[in-house]
């Protein structure tokens, strides 16, 4: 049997005939509608909400069994972090046009540069199209294993090619003139891009199948591109990938005199502690809470998101991106909100909301649930446990950390004080925190401009030790201890 489906988005209608019994989400994806599905279609995140014949419904849980009018929410533009610390690198000067990509789980950023002068000509970005198969790397890996890894590979290659074309067009050159591309990304993005089996990433001992830097002909990734080379930076461990190596390149980590902690909080939290003498990396399952997933009113950092909250005269004051009505909060807003509620005593040290199951921000439909607070506690405890165990492994106390680099979008937008108030980062480090933006992208840029930098990335990766937190007997205890909102911060609240 056939049903009529009418899809409405931004006052435009599109009609099609659909086999009765089809899943609505599958059909919408097939027709190239972008639907947020952080939980990968398991019916738990609530983010794939659409309106079906006037009623709210989850697209992933809806079977098309009648004629339907499906109304989609309008997509807002997301701000994507493109800039990072600026480093003077060595220039090969071999190619006139080179491009660097940072493939994140959520976003992809590309930088087109003049390979002779090192000048940045243009930068382009896009959401990662694989987002349709889950917000976090685990959902993507599961989709790749159980359903179709090739589909994910084609998606990412397609988007990279679109970005190459877009960048070339904007500076009025042919895409073919881009002779070299360098790429960083986490291990899952790395393996999916290269068509490498991702099973090893989620099976003990959780290691990548390929660690080494990979150099290949551009044609292997983009069949239209006849000439050119792609450099993909190496991985360090299962969830410490080429993006972390990019950060190490950009910060010249092996030359740092000060004991430095680098934290990249995304859907995972990667950390490196050390200096010129020794470096140890670890990854924590921080989860995508700070990217707005699994949070009732969570959303990306786009128009309508509360991105900043603070306490003024005992009351909460907040800022909405783009002004207007608050629709939810993004990661930095969520972090601030929890820190502010701790300050005014609406959340206690154990994480309990003091006045019922949710806290509603006045004059809005935006609220924080008890479950949301628990998600934040899990994320922050994972990061904090990583910091505690890394310092122990390197044999210093936390107060001996002299510098904290926060990399990545969340690290860039979040208020460090809030991160310290909730105990994610030890409060004694507050005045040592410095945001370094998209350092992974900066590392990729350096490696696109120079073979020497690319070789340097290999040395940094091979000389960085890895600490597998889950294998440590004390991990569970440290993690559980880190769940509470620590008393050490009381004097600041
Ligand atoms: S509830 Fe449908 S994708 Fe999460």
**From ligand 1's centre to the CA of 135, what distance in Å?**
10
- 183-228: per-residue pLDDT in tens? 999 999 999 999 999 999 999 888 999 999 999 999 999 877 778 9
Indicate which residue's Cα is closest to atom 1 of ligand 1. 43
Do 107 and 213 fall into the same domain?
yes
Q: Which of 222-231, 249-258, 314-323, 397-406 has the lowest mean pLDDT?
A: 222-231
Q: What is the atom index within ligand 1 of the atom nearest the CA of 49?
A: 2
Residue of 34, 36, 39 to mutate, ligand 1, most atoms within 8 A of C-beta: 39
* Boundary residue ending a domain (223, 251, 279): 251
Q: Looking at the domain assignment, is residue 139 inside a domain?
A: yes
Query: Residue 204's domain spans which residues?
Result: 97-251
* Boundary residue ending a domain (251, 284, 307): 251
Q: Looking at the domain assignment, is residue 286 inside a domain?
A: no
Q: Looking at the domain assignment, is residue 55 inside a domain?
A: yes
Residue 403 burial by CB count (10 A; 0-12/13-18/19+): exposed, middle or buried?
A: middle
Q: What is the atom index within ligand 1 of the atom nearest the CA of 45?
A: 4
**From ligand 1's centre to the CA of 302, what distance in Å?**
20
Q: Number of folded domains in the chain?
A: 2
- The predicted pLDDT at position 84 comes to 60
Section 104-121 average pLDDT = 91
Residue of 27, 29, 43 to mutate, ligand 1, most atoms within 8 A of C-beta: 43
Do 110 and 185 fall into the same domain?
yes
Do 106 and 150 fall into the same domain?
yes
Judged against a pLDDT cut of 60, whether residue 76 lies above it is answered with: no
**From ligand 1's centre to the CA of 38, what distance in Å?**
7
Do 113 and 51 fall into the same domain?
no
**From ligand 1's centre to the CA of 223, what distance in Å?**
34
Do 26 and 101 fall into the same domain?
no
Judged against a pLDDT cut of 70, whether residue 489 lies above it is answered with: no
Q: Looking at the domain assignment, is residue 162 inside a domain?
A: yes
**From ligand 1's centre to the CA of 476, what distance in Å?**
30
Q: What is the atom index within ligand 1 of the atom nearest the CA of 37?
A: 3
- The predicted pLDDT at position 152 comes to 92
Do 62 and 113 fall into the same domain?
no
**From ligand 1's centre to the CA of 202, what distance in Å?**
22
Do 103 and 54 fall into the same domain?
no
- 423-459: per-residue pLDDT in tens? 999 999 999 999 998 999 999 999 999 999 999 999 9
| 457 vs 292, higher pLDDT | 457
Residue of 26, 34, 37, 72 to mutate, ligand 1, most atoms within 8 A of C-beta: 37
Q: Looking at the domain assignment, is residue 65 inside a domain?
A: yes
Q: Looking at the domain assignment, is residue 388 inside a domain?
A: no
Q: What is the CATH number of the domain that holds 39?
A: 3.10.20.30
Do 66 and 177 fall into the same domain?
no
- The predicted pLDDT at position 191 comes to 96
Do 50 and 107 fall into the same domain?
no
Q: What is the atom index within ligand 1 of the atom nearest the CA of 40?
A: 3
Q: What is the atom index within ligand 1 of the atom nearest the CA of 35?
A: 3
Q: Looking at the domain assignment, is residue 362 inside a domain?
A: no
- Ligand 1 pocket by Cβ (under 6 Å): 37, 39, 41, 43-48, 58, 60
**From ligand 1's centre to the CA of 238, what distance in Å?**
27
b/e burial code for range 300-320 (CB count within 10 A of at least 16 → b): bbbbbbbbbbbbeeeebebeb
Q: What is the CATH number of the domain that holds 190?
A: 3.30.420.480
- The predicted pLDDT at position 485 comes to 87
For residue 451, give Cα distances in angstroms to 100, 113, 190, 235, 447.
13, 15, 20, 18, 6
- 351-405: per-residue pLDDT in tens? 999 988 899 988 888 999 999 999 999 999 999 999 999 999 999 999 999 999 9
Q: Looking at the domain assignment, is residue 290 inside a domain?
A: no
- 159-175: per-residue pLDDT in tens? 999 999 999 999 999 99
- The predicted pLDDT at position 105 comes to 86
Q: Report which of 34, 23, 32, 31 is spatially closest to residue 61, judged by C-alpha positions.
A: 23
**From ligand 1's centre to the CA of 35, what distance in Å?**
9
Section 303-309 average pLDDT = 91
Do 8 and 140 fall into the same domain?
no
- 275-287: per-residue pLDDT in tens? 999 999 999 887 6
Q: What is the atom index within ligand 1 of the atom nearest the CA of 36?
A: 3
Task: Quote the mean pLDDT of the chain.
Answer: 89
- The predicted pLDDT at position 37 comes to 75
Do 118 and 247 fall into the same domain?
yes
Do 33 and 154 fall into the same domain?
no
């Amino acid at each position: 049997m056939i049903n009529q489906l009418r899809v409405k988005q931004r006052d435009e209608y599109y009609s099609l005939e659909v086999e009765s019994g089809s899943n609505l989400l599958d059909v919408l994806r097939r027709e190239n509608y972008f639907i947020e599905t952080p939980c990968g279609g398991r019916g738990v995140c609530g983010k794939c909400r659409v309106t079906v014949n006037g009623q709210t419904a989850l697209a992933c849980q809806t079977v098309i069994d009648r004629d339907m009018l499906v109304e989609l929410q309008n997509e807002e533009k997301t701000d994507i972090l493109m800039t990072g610390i600026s480093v003077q690198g060595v220039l090969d000067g071999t190619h006139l046009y080179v491009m660097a990509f940072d493939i994140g789980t959520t976003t992809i950023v590309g930088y087109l540069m003049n390979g002779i002068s090192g000048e940045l000509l243009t930068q382009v970005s896009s959401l990662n199209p694989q987002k349709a198969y889950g917000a976090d790397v685990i959902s993507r890996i599961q989709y790749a294993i159980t359903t179709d890894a090739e589909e994910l590979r084609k998606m990412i290659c397609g988007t990279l090619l679109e970005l190459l074309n877009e960048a070339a067009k904007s500076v009025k050159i042919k895409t073919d003139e881009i002779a070299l591309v360098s790429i960083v990304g986490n291990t899952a993005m790395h393996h999916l891009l290269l068509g490498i089996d991702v099973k090893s990433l989620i099976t003990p001992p959780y290691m990548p199948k390929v660690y080494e830097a990979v150099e290949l002909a551009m044609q292997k990734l983009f069949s239209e591109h006849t000439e050119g080379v792609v450099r993909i930076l190496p991985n360090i461990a299962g969830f410490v990938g080429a993006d972390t190596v990019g950060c190490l390149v950009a910060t010249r980590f092996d030359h740092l005199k000060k004991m430095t902690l680098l934290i990249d909080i995304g859907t995972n939290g990667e950390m490196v502690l050390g200096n010129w003498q020794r470096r140890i990396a670890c990854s924590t399952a921080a989860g995508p809470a700070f990217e707005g997933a699994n949070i009732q009113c969570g959303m990306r950092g786009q128009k309508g998101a509360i991105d900043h909250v603070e306490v003024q005269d005992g009351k909460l004051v907040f800022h909405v991106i783009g002004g207007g009505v608050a629709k939810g909060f993004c990661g930095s807003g969520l972090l601030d909100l929890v820190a502010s509620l701790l300050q005014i005593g609406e959340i206690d040290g154990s994480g309990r909301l003091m006045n019922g199951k949710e806290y509603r921000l006045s004059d809005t439909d935006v609220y924080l649930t008890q479950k949301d607070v628990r998600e934040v506690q899990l994320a922050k405890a994972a990061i904090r446990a990583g910091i505690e165990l890394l310092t122990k492994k390197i044999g210093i106390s936390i107060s001996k950390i002299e510098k904290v680099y926060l990399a990545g979008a969340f690290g860039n937008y979040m208020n460090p004080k809030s991160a310290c108030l909730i105990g994610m980062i030890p409060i004694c480090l507050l005045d040592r925190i410095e945001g370094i933006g998209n350092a992974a992208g900066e590392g990729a840029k350096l490696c696109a401009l120079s073979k020497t930098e690319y070789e340097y990335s290999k040395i940094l990766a091979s000389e960085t030790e890895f600490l597998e937190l889950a294998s440590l007997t004390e991990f569970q205890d440290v993690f559980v201890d880190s769940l509470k909102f620590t008393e050490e911060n009381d004097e600041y609240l």
